[in-house]
Amino acid sequence: YLQAIEKGFAEVSVFLAMLYQEQSKFKEAEKYFLYAVERGFNIANNNLAVLYENQGKTEEAEKYYLQAIEKGDTNASFNLALHYYVKGKIEEAEKYYLQAIKKGIIKASYNLATLYKEKGESEVAEKYYLQAIEKGNLEANNNLAVLYKEEGKTEEAEKHFLRAIGKGHFGASNNLAVLYKEQGKTEEAIKYYLQDCEIGVPQAFNNLAVLYKEQGKTEEAEKYYLEAIKKGHSPAIFNLAFLYHKQGKIDEAVKYYLQAIEKGDVKSCNNLAFLYLEKSKFSLALKAFWEMAVAKNSEEDNKIFQQTIMNFLSYKQYEGIYQIFKEFNLKKELLPLYYALMYFMQEKFPNEYLKTNPEIKETVDEIIEVVKKEQERIFG
């Protein structure tokens, strides 16, 4: 390649740059893409933009995508649309997907449909999914079926799931099984879950396990949860732990709750803490609670965290809760729970509960009543 370039065959520089890119020699790839761009080889603009995109150099990527589009590069419109979509610039993404569709890029119809679906523009999304299907896009049948399912158009959803399955779509059988399960068509659901299990779809193993659990077939549920875990489906770890927990298989439950916690599952911290509370292993319960306080990072996590506080109050583990409130500065965030805690710790803090703001007093008293009822249930 270098010899050819030296002899004046400048067009070879594009192929040399691509070779360097494959070898992860990005500086050399950039050098020869730029060399080709400077000499007017239009394909190099898009390739250089992709190189910059992969390196996170988004401004440079945008610059060369636009240059490539000006020079008539068909793929650059699609790539720039995707670039804008990832950056959250939806209007710009829409503009260039439409441009790519006009230039015959099949994937653009599918991507634009997905964009409209996410915007809540279902009719337009349907239009472009159907367009993508006409052009032979495999994924579009499945996604159109999902759209129909969300709209309650179950017959249309079933039809397109079956078409997607017929075309070998990876995962459509699982989606159809979910539809059948929701309709109470259990045997059909099992049939299609098993189809996706046969081709190794991790979620299908988990979903089939859930179905068997609901039927009381715990051995089958355990089997398919374990298969889902082997295939890397993280939610199955919590589900299996919960199955063992309900069966009273404490060692197994602890094992899988701990595995799920390692993967950042906050629900597992809550459940493990509750398991330890039930077994009067309060120091271990507090450890799980502490890990939960560190790991929580969403609104849903916060709701679970508050339920864990209620569990600790119910088991009279006031000092542990107080230490967590203190360590993580939770008083302002969880004021009603804080004053409920102070009610139960009046011996240590005789005046703190009395400071309860009248605006939250009713909520605090409701929490106290719920906790008292739970304490009566637990301790008699």
Are 302 and 266 in contact by the 8 Å Cβ rule? The answer is no
In eight-state DSSP terms, residue 298 is S
Which pLDDT band, with edges at 50, 70 and 90, does 86 fall under?
very high
Are 76 and 87 in contact by the 8 Å Cβ rule? The answer is no
- Residue range 46-51: mean pLDDT, rounded: 90
Q: Was domain 1-104 assigned CATH 3.30.750.24?
A: no
Q: If DSSP codes are grouped into helix, strand and coil, which group holds residue 244?
A: helix
Residue 26 falls in which region: left (phi positive, over 0), alpha (psi -120 to 50) or beta = alpha
pLDDT higher than threshold 70 for residue 7: no
Nearest to 324 by CA among 341, 299, 303, 349: 341
CA–CA dist 271, 269 (Å, integer): 6
Place of tokens 């508050």: 306
Percent of the chain with pLDDT strictly greater than 70:
96
What are the b/e assignments for 272-310, b being 16+ CB within 10 Å? Answer: bbbbbbeeebbebbbbbbbbbbeebeeeebeebbbebbb
Are 39 and 50 in contact by the 8 Å Cβ rule? The answer is no
CA–CA dist 267, 273 (Å, integer): 10
pLDDT higher than threshold 60 for residue 40: yes
pLDDT in tens, 211-270: 999 999 999 999 999 999 999 999 999 999 999 999 999 999 999 999 999 999 999 999
Domain ranges (residues) in the chain: 1-104
pLDDT in tens, 158-194: 999 999 999 988 889 999 999 999 999 999 999 999 9
Nearest to 50 by CA among 72, 71, 22: 22
- Strand positions, DSSP E, 183-292: none
Tokens of 53: 């995109």
3-state DSSP percent of the chain in helix, strand and coil, to 5: 80, 0, 20
Q: What is the pLDDT of residue 81?
A: 97
In eight-state DSSP terms, residue 349 is S
pLDDT higher than threshold 90 for residue 2: no
pLDDT in tens, 98-151: 999 999 999 999 999 999 999 999 999 999 999 999 999 989 999 999 999 999
Helix (H) or strand (E) holding 114: helix 106-119
Its pTM stands at 0.78
CA–CA dist 93, 97 (Å, integer): 6
| Number of CB atoms found within 10 A of residue 103's CB | 16
Residue 24 falls in which region: left (phi positive, over 0), alpha (psi -120 to 50) or beta = left
Q: What is the pLDDT of residue 250?
A: 97
